[in-house]
Structure 1
Amino acid sequence: MKLLLVSMFMALVSQSVFAQNDFVKGADVGFLTGQEKHGVKFHDRDGKERECLELLKTDYQMKAIRMRVWVNPRGGMNDKHELLAMAKRAKGLGMDLMVDFHYSDSWADPAKQPIPEAWKEHSYKQMKKDVREHTIDVLSLLKANGIEPRWVQVGNETANGMLWPMGHIEQNPKQYAGFIRAGYDAVKKVFPQAIVIVHLDRGHLQSLYDYNLDIVKKYGGKFDMIGMSLYPYWAMQDHPELNPDGIITDCMANIRHCSEKYGCDVMIVETGFEVDEQHPEKMEEGRRQLTRVIREARNETNGRCRGVFYWEPQCLPGGYKLGAFNSNAAPTTIMEAYVE
């Protein structure tokens, strides 16, 4: 009996230590290339000019970046070459990489999942081949340049499916799962050790995850990890009766639920909090909320949440209100939540 208790204690300690050491703090920086092209110069809290990725890593303990990739985007924004250039910079700093495939020529999210122009007339069978070939093409470019992503997302916020209407979850659930499987198999062909993520929005909404992921599993889709978006701000825009702490509580419960039900780890791959320089108290509140998210994701999910990525923290106020930098391109107090 004593031996059993000791073994159980050591297992819990081991799990806790693993969760502490393997917990990743990161940032989606898909806008960074465009910002730099437009002359944005980033600074630390003391006003010293700094390279953005180095600032995020050194001052805010961010060990990874996330980059989206589109199929045939106008002007090359978020194409595979822009991905490669940023991946090289991250590797030079010793940062890990998450690749976020949208399988679109532009934005894909719960409200829209447009088929790339070049694929529009294709059959389901051909479109699965398109997904496979595009995935292999992008990842092979990274591999040829010595870049190995740690995580790969097959689709972006696919709550309602992907590649509409062909892969809409309500109209064609089997085909949605088929696209997920095609992407999964393509990732494993190039990088067998990469962690493949299925990514949904509204991390606080357990019913969404049950519905979507049950369909993926039912029809043969595969994934290694579940990615969640967590935006209390946007959730309350849609449902004013909600409050941020309740949303965070529900998200943590959903992480525990999903990890147990589907037998895999979870990661918050997108989050963000409001920057309002005219009302500093809003940024203090954002810091408080983010501090809670990081603390509970690390310590209160039975070791199954592997990290928290901030979506475009380097964005400046005016364009996107949930970045984490001010109009001087310096971190706001929100970023302090990442320093432990």
Structure 2
Amino acid sequence: MKKIKNWWMGLLLLAGVAITSCNDDDKPVFPEIPEETYDMTGFARGADVSWLTEMEANGRKFYDADGKERECMSLLRELGMNAIRLRVWVNPVDGWCNQADVVAKAWRAHNLGYRLMIDFHYSDTWADPGNQTKPAAWEDYSFDELRQAVANHTTEVLTTLKNQGIDVEWVQVGNETSNGMLFDEGKASTDMANFAALVNSGYDAVKTVYPEAQVIVHLDRGNELTHYAWIFNGLQGNGAKWDIIGMSLYPGEDPDENNGLAEWSPVDENGQTWKAQNDACIANMQSLISTYHTQIMVCEIGIPWNYEQAEAFYSDFMTKAKQVEGCLGVFVWEPECYGGWNGYQKGLFDDSGKPTASLNAFARN
């Protein structure tokens, strides 16, 4: 579906055919100008905007390149994004990213025609390779109770979304689970079978609510194949089910994490440039697709917004990822962040809240 151009109205007016009826004051009534529409199909050009409602509540504004204030999701859609990713926490202290907040953001995305990915952390806070803390309410659960809690939480959130008429295309059962989830019971290095069982609890719950949704198991360091092979061999050997392997890729070295360009190097601890890391990630995709007969999604990607080669990095990666048969798309993590929001410097907006040239990599072809 191509964009609908609004300038046709002016041509009709010049031709003298626009007036179709009159109101009580005998003033001309014109047809409504059709809203611009977008093709949201195909390769996923995604944005995780989970911080958006919190940023808005704190007074952050978003602007287009001309400095006009804009609603963020609409602006990202205009700039080429066609999918939204949202994280879910079980019972966060401040409420952000809880079920209600996720539903509010998902409803906005749905009404703009976005495709949707839901990212279950199964925690009250951040889940990542080193932090897979059980929700406080689940702390004393037995392993069987943890499995049931995963199923119940997944079912509850997704059912709430479905009851609102919101479609969900992809669901992550865990976030960056490079050593499992729900530590210590679900730590893969301790008990891979437990981790596989937890994955299956989430998988089955997803399929019960959204039978067509694709379930993702997501790891970090997409340029390093060894821990993907370890996790997915272990999951496969223990009967785990998944539809898509998810990756994160954050090139370079950030010894003081998320502290901006001054603390970041485009060369990682192994001496790899961002170009080499891109190529390694693409090669890993091809290997994983071949080995596990599965599809790939890059669920997170980012580089400092003010790095001089940021646009080149995104353009290089997007071009190569689109050429991989079996790669479904790429999601930028929190592209709307700017001005050092929560210390995060890897968004796609500059310090004035305007989009940077890096968004060119996500433009519609």
Q: TM-score, normalised by structure 1?
A: 0.89
Q: What is the CA deviation profile of residues 24-58 of structure 1, one whole-angstrom value per residue up to 9, with x for unaligned ones?
A: 10100011000100111100111111110010011
More deviation, 246-255/233-242: 233-242
Percent identical residues: 42
Q: Which amino acid aligns with 2:55?
A: Q
Q: Out of 327, 344, 356, which is 1:305 matched to?
A: 327
SS at match of 1:329: coil
**Residue number in structure 2 paired with 1:204:** 223
Contact 1:317 1:323 in 2 (8 A): no
Q: Which amino acid aligns with 2:177?
A: T
Q: Out of 257, 274, 282, which is 1:252 matched to?
A: 282
Matches within 5 A, 1:94-109: 94-109=113-128
More helix by share: 1
**Residue number in structure 1 paired with 2:109:** 90
Counterparts of 1:257 and 1:66, CA distance in 2: 25
Aligned residues: 312
**Residue number in structure 1 paired with 2:214:** 195
Counterparts of 1:144 and 1:256, CA distance in 2: 38
Contact 1:275 1:317 in 2 (8 A): no
Contact 1:233 1:274 in 2 (8 A): no
Q: TM-score, normalised by structure 2?
A: 0.83
Gaps of 5+ in 1: 1-20, 277-281
Counterparts of 1:197 and 1:239, CA distance in 2: 28
Matches within 5 A, 1:1-340: 22-58=42-78, 60-234=79-253, 239=269, 241-276=271-306, 282-283=307-308, 285-299=309-323, 301=324, 303-318=325-340, 319-339=343-363, 340=365
SS at match of 1:241: coil
Counterparts of 2:354 and 2:178, CA distance in 1: 34
SS at match of 2:316: helix
Gaps of 5+ in 2: 1-40, 255-265
**Residue number in structure 2 paired with 1:11:** none
Counterparts of 1:171 and 1:240, CA distance in 2: 28
**What do you get for the CA RMSD once the two structures are aligned?**
1.4
Larger radius of gyration: 2
- Report deviation, 1:275: 2.0
Contact 2:47 2:81 in 1 (8 A): yes
Q: What is the CA deviation profile of residues 207-245 of structure 1, one whole-angstrom value per residue up to 9, with x for unaligned ones?
A: 111100111111111100011001113476761512111
Counterparts of 1:31 and 1:311, CA distance in 2: 10
SS at match of 2:84: strand
Q: Which amino acid aligns with 1:292?
A: D
Q: Which amino acid aligns with 1:324?
A: L
Contact 1:45 1:331 in 2 (8 A): yes
Contact 1:271 1:309 in 2 (8 A): yes
Counterparts of 1:275 and 1:22, CA distance in 2: 26
Q: What is the CA deviation profile of residues 293-323 of structure 1, one whole-angstrom value per residue up to 9, with x for unaligned ones?
A: 1000001x1x211101100001013221111
Q: Which amino acid aligns with 1:216?
A: L
Contact 1:275 1:323 in 2 (8 A): yes
Q: What is the CA deviation profile of residues 242-298 of structure 1, one whole-angstrom value per residue up to 9, with x for unaligned ones?
A: 21111000000000111111111101110011123xxxxx24x01101001100000
Distance 1:79 1:234, change over 3 A: farther
Counterparts of 1:333 and 1:52, CA distance in 2: 16
Higher relative contact order, chain-length normalized (CA < 8 Å, sep 6+): 1
Counterparts of 1:335 and 1:240, CA distance in 2: 28
SS at match of 1:268: strand
**Residue number in structure 1 paired with 2:24:** none
SS at match of 1:255: helix
Q: Which amino acid aligns with 2:299?
A: V
Contact 1:325 1:332 in 2 (8 A): yes
Counterparts of 1:180 and 1:118, CA distance in 2: 20
Counterparts of 1:234 and 1:118, CA distance in 2: 36
Q: What is the CA deviation profile of residues 52-85 of structure 1, one whole-angstrom value per residue up to 9, with x for unaligned ones?
A: 0010011x21001000000111121100111100
Counterparts of 1:88 and 1:94, CA distance in 2: 10
Runs of 4+ in 1 over 6 A off after TM superposition: none
